[in-house]
Amino acid sequence: MSELAQGAFEVTAWDETVIEDFGEGGKLTRAQVEQTYTGDLEGVATIEWLMAYRDDGSADFVGHQRVEGRLGGREGVFVLEVVGRFDGRVAEGDLTAVGGSGVGSIRDLKGAGRFSAELGPTGTYEFDYVFLEARE
């Protein structure tokens, strides 16, 4: 039976560089980001984003988050794959636990969820997860 984790996150560092400028506002960028999670998931994450901006300031982005923390009474490290979009005002997207990426007592994590963040450093998340039995 799966559990639902809910809470908030705060971006604590953001370093974005332009990979290619397409002119008229369009560009491809890479960002290295750090954030903290609170709520049912407690921990810190380091993130690598690739973002494709359009000339209206909206963007699509993909990336991976290395999360170190506590979830469901277990501690460890796992990776979330993120696919999102930014409409110029709100960033939102889907989170999926990368199978086999967990270490510690989180190594058998399976889950998916969503996040949303208005302009600024804070947002909210929901993550539906289950711990599978570790296979020997």
User: What was the pLDDT predicted at 136?
Assistant: 40
Q: Output the pTM of the full model.
A: 0.92
Q: Which of 25, 41, 20 shows the shortest CA–CA distance to 106?
A: 41
Look-up of token digits 């469901």:
72
Q: Which of 96, 102, 103, 61 shows the shortest CA–CA distance to 80?
A: 96
- Domain assignment present for 15: yes
- Domain assignment present for 46: yes
Structural domains of the chain, count? 1
Compute CA distances 116 → 37, 68, 104, whole Å: 13, 20, 28
Quote the domain boundaries for residue 56: 3-131
Compute CA distances 93 → 77, 81, 134, whole Å: 21, 10, 29
- Domain assignment present for 105: yes
Q: Which of 6, 80, 4 shows the shortest CA–CA distance to 38?
A: 6
Q: What angle do CA 79, 37, 95 make, to 5 degrees?
A: 40
User: What was the pLDDT predicted at 135?
Assistant: 42
Q: How confident is the model at residue 1 (pLDDT cuts 50, 70, 90)?
A: confident
Phi and psi at residue 75, to the nearest 5°:
-120, 150
CATH number at residue 56: 2.40.350.10
Beta bridge partners of 71: 41, 74
Q: Which amino acid is at 21?
A: D
Q: How confident is the model at residue 24 (pLDDT cuts 50, 70, 90)?
A: confident
Does 120 have pLDDT greater than 60? yes
Element (H, E) at 119: none
- Domain assignment present for 107: yes
- Domain assignment present for 136: no
Does 97 have pLDDT greater than 70? yes
Q: How far is Cα 122 from Cα 117, in angstroms, rounded to an integer? A: 6
